[in-house]
Structure formats: C-alpha cells, structure tokens
Structure 1
Amino acid sequence: MIESFKPRVAALLLLAFAGLVQAAPQVTWPQGWTVEPVPAQEGDQAAEVSRQRAVKSDAAGNPQVVMELTMTQVDSGHVVNLQGVLLEMRKSVQKDFARGGYQSVCNKIHAAQLSRLQALETTCTITQNGRHVLSQTLVAAVDGNKAYVLSYAGQAQAYAESRDEILAVRNSLKL
C-alpha cells in the first residue's frame, strides 16, 4: 500500500523550476531507515534536480513511512510562487489517491519551518471507507536560487509514531 503514496512531487517541481546544478543538501536520516536510490524522472537532468529518499519499514520489511527531499535549481531572477506550487502538488496528491479509491482531506496551507528556512506546509489525511489509513505532508521552501520540497507519507499509525524522527530530520537539514 505504501508504494501508492511514494512522494510524486518532482514532476511538479520540474514545471516550476529550472537552472544550474549545485551541491545536494545534506540529510541525516534516522537510524534504522533505509536510504533508497531515487530513480531519475524525465527532465531531472535538464532541470538539475537532486532527490534523496529514505524508508522506515516494519520488522517484516514492509514500508511504513517514506520521506523524500527534492532540491531544484531556480533560474536567476525567477520568482517562485510557493503557494501556487504547493497548491498544485496538493491537488496532484489528492488526484492520485482518488484514482486508487481513497478519499483525502488536506489542511489549509500554512507557514512552517524547514531547517533554517521559512516554508509553507500542508498535510493530507487519506481515508478508505471512513477509516484513516495514510497521512502525507508536503513542506516547500525557497532559498535564493534553490527550491526545496520535503514530502513524507506513511500508514496512519506509523506516521504518528515517527513524528519525532521526522521533526529531527526537518530541523537538521543542511540546505
């Protein structure tokens, strides 16, 4: 089930951002999480996108929570409409879940913090037959010529239980 909600934000970022490559941000993933290679998506090289992902699995090896950090270079002089980008990402998440037979409700986009940066954030609660099964949060920030999105999603209980680990990653990012 977790495969259906792996973060799908890179494609939307590619539409909003493009530019030159620089060093990838540094992420310290929580102990016990597995760092996964992120397959390149169409346009990643052209837009100079850096993506990093880690997965928290249960004792049987089943994925429970997925976190992904995407950094995209922004063309010099381009002003990013962060609210608009996050709205489009949220719509995409909701459409993807709806296609899978899920219902989703997302909270209002609000101010947040991503490492040292002012950011915007929204969290979606995904239900099936009235039962809360998944949660996904999208956090976006811009710093000069770089745009960042941290997306994390997981089965409802594992997501809640991973809150401290997720916040530790968010606060320790070197962007």
Structure 2
Amino acid sequence: MIKSFKCRIASLFLVMLATGVQADPEIAWPQGWIVEPIPSQGEDPTTKVSRQRAVKNDAAGNPQMVMELTMTQVASGHVVNLQGVLLEMRKSVQKDFAQGGYQSVCNKIHAAQLSRLDGLETTCTITQNGRHVLSQTLVAALDGDKAYVLSYAGQATAYTDSREEILAIRNNLKL
C-alpha cells in the first residue's frame, strides 16, 4: 500500500515545463532510512528533475514510512499555481486510494514550511472499513525557478511515531 503512491506524486509534478541545470537538493536521511533508487520513467531529457526517496522499515523489513522529495526546474516565465498543483496532487492521491478500496479524507490546503521556504501542505487520512491505516502528507514550495514537493506516507502508528523525525528531515533539507 505504501509503495503504491511513489510514482504518482512525481508524475503529477512534472507537468511544469523545466529547463536548466541546478544542483540537486540534499537530504540528511536519519539512521534506519534506506535510500531507494528511482528508475527513469521516460521523462523528457531536457527537463531537469531531481527525485530522492527513502523507506523506513520495521524490524521484519516491512515498509512503515516512505518519503520522496522532487525538485523541478521551472521554465523561465512560467508561473506556477502552487495551490492548484497541490490540489491536483491531492485529488490524484484520493482517486488512487479509492480505486484500491480505501477511503480518504484530506485537510484543507494550508500554509507550511519546507526547510527555509514558505509553502503549502495537506495531509490525508486513509481508512479501510472505518479503520485508520495510513496517513500521507504533501508539501509544496517554490524558490525562484525551482519547485519542490515533499511527500511522505506511513502506516498510521508509524506516521505518528515518526512525527519528530519527519519534522527534522523537513527542517534540515538543503534546497
């Protein structure tokens, strides 16, 4: 279930035309997070996109949390409607979970911080048969000609238990 959200977030964010070369953002992954390679999905080679993902497993090796950061270089003159992008991403998350037999409720998009940047955020609670099974947060921010999306999801208990660790990762991103 956690792995099902990985590709949909990045593909939605790639609708912004991108050009140029920029250093990738840096993430200091805490101990216990396993960085996963992200295969290319036939993206336009002229588009500058950086994606980083890591998974936190339980003692048995089952995924409990997954986090992905996507940076897209925005084309000169292109104006990004950050609220609109986040709204479309949230709709996609809800649709995908509904197709899998889950129900989801997301809070209103609201102001948030992503490292040093002002951005927007929404969190969805995913249930199955009335039982909270998963939470997912989407955070988006702009920095000049770069757009960032941080998405993280986890099993209900792991998500709650990892709150401080997640905030530390968010606050210490080098964007």
State if a TM-score over 0.5 links the two structures: yes
Paired residues of 1:7 and 1:151 also in contact (CA < 8 A): no
SS in 2 for 1:45: coil
Number of the residue aligned with 2:40 = 40
Number of the residue aligned with 1:134 = 134
Compute the displacement of 1:53 (Å): 0.5
Paired residues of 1:54 and 1:68 also in contact (CA < 8 A): yes
* Cα separation, 2, equivalents of 1:10 and 1:103: 22
Q: Give matches, 1:6-25, under 5 Å.
A: 6=6, 8-25=8-25
TM-score (norm 2): 0.96
State the number of aligned residues: 175
SS in 2 for 1:16: coil
Share of identical aligned residues, percent? 79
- 158-167 vs 45-54, greater mean Cα deviation: 45-54
Compute the displacement of 1:42 (Å): 2.6
Compute the displacement of 1:17 (Å): 3.6
**Paired residue type of 1:160:** T
* Cα separation, 2, equivalents of 1:64 and 1:107: 22
Task: Give every structure 1 segment of 4 or more consecutive aligned residues whose post-TM-superposition deviation is greater than 4 Å.
Answer: none
* Cα separation, 2, equivalents of 1:159 and 1:7: 20
Q: Which blocks of at least 5 consecutive residues in structure 2 are unaligned?
A: none
SS in 2 for 1:8: helix
Q: Deviations over 1:35-56 (max 9, x none)?
A: 1111112325332110000100
Number of the residue aligned with 2:158 = 158
Cα 1:116–1:44 change in 2 (3 A) is farther
Cα 1:44–1:56 change in 2 (3 A) is farther
Compute the displacement of 1:8 (Å): 2.2
Number of the residue aligned with 1:125 = 125
* Cα separation, 1, equivalents of 2:60 and 2:174: 32
* Cα separation, 2, equivalents of 1:125 and 1:17: 31
SS in 2 for 1:18: coil
TM-score (norm 1): 0.96
SS in 1 for 2:8: coil
Q: Give matches, 1:11-160, under 5 Å.
A: 11-43=11-43, 45-160=45-160
